[in-house]
């Protein structure tokens, strides 16, 4: 003979069923809270979530001087476009936007771009492409994320591609060299 042991008026089997239903209801409610139409985070947002590996790493200045802004953009554009540091020429500075150019690898003409820095992020845009839509800041989903670390004359450029792969380049850009 099987006895139904009642605790608090409910049998053990009834309590197990109630617990199972409660767990299932919790999952169902949690799933209802997420929106399927929410945009996916941009590569910059994904990378921004990553915390530095160590407090001992060189810190990024809050505001770069005009000289350091030109140096960082020169190194960033060299890394982005596969150029040597000497190939990137700084053509001018408009506020916090650096204008630069470099020799086009295919036809020998000039490629032109702009660069700006926000925190430790480097963003650039081409300025000589055929349509205005192509001359946009490269900070959208699907664009590489480029970060820098400035440590004296050394500038380290860390690039994260949309597929998650990364590349690191290190440049030495002396203050005198950036004026070229």
CA distance 14 to 114: 69
- 30 has pLDDT over 70: no
**Integer Cα distance of 168 and 159 in angstroms:** 6
For the purposes of burial, counting CB atoms within 10 Å of the CB of 28, is it exposed (0-12), middle (13-18) or buried (19 or more)?
Answer: exposed
Q: Are 101 and 111 in contact (CB under 8 A)?
A: yes
Burial (CB < 10 A; 0-12, 13-18, 19+), residue 83, is middle
Average pLDDT value for the chain: 77
Reported as a single tens digit per residue, the pLDDT across 82-140 is 999 999 999 999 999 999 999 988 887 899 999 999 999 999 999 989 998 999 999 99
Stronger pLDDT, 107 or 14, i.e. the higher one: 107
Q: Any bridge partners for residue 148, and if so which?
A: 157
Closest to 142 measured CA to CA, from 161, 127, 126, 157: 161
Q: What percent of the chain has pLDDT over 70?
A: 62
Q: Give the per-residue pLDDT at 166.
A: 97
Residue 97 corresponds to which tokens in the numbers above? 């936007």
pLDDT of 19 > 50? The answer is no
- Tell the residue number behind the tokens 């380049």, with chain if given: 169
- CA distances 86 to 102, 131, 153, 174, Å, are 9, 29, 15, 12
């Amino acid at each position: 003979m099987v006895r139904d042991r009642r605790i608090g008026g409910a049998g053990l089997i009834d309590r197990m069923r109630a617990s199972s239903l409660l767990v299932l209801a919790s999952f169902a409610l949690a799933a209802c809270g997420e929106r399927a139409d929410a945009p996916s985070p941009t590569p910059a947002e994904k990378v921004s979530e990553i915390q530095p590996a160590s407090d001992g790493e060189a810190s990024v200045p809050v505001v770069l001087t005009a000289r350091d802004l030109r140096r960082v953009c020169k190194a960033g554009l060299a890394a982005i476009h596969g150029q040597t540091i000497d190939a990137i020429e700084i053509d001018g500075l408009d506020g916090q936007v650096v204008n630069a150019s470099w020799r086009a690898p295919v036809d020998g003409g000039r490629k032109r771009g702009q660069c700006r820095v926000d925190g430790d992020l480097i963003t650039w845009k081409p300025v000589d492409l055929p349509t205005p839509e192509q001359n946009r800041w490269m900070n959208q989903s699907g664009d590489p994320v480029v970060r820098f670390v400035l440590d004296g004359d050394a500038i380290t450029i860390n690039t994260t591609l949309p597929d998650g792969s990364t590349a690191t380049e290190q440049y030495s850009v002396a203050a005198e060299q950036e004026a070229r």
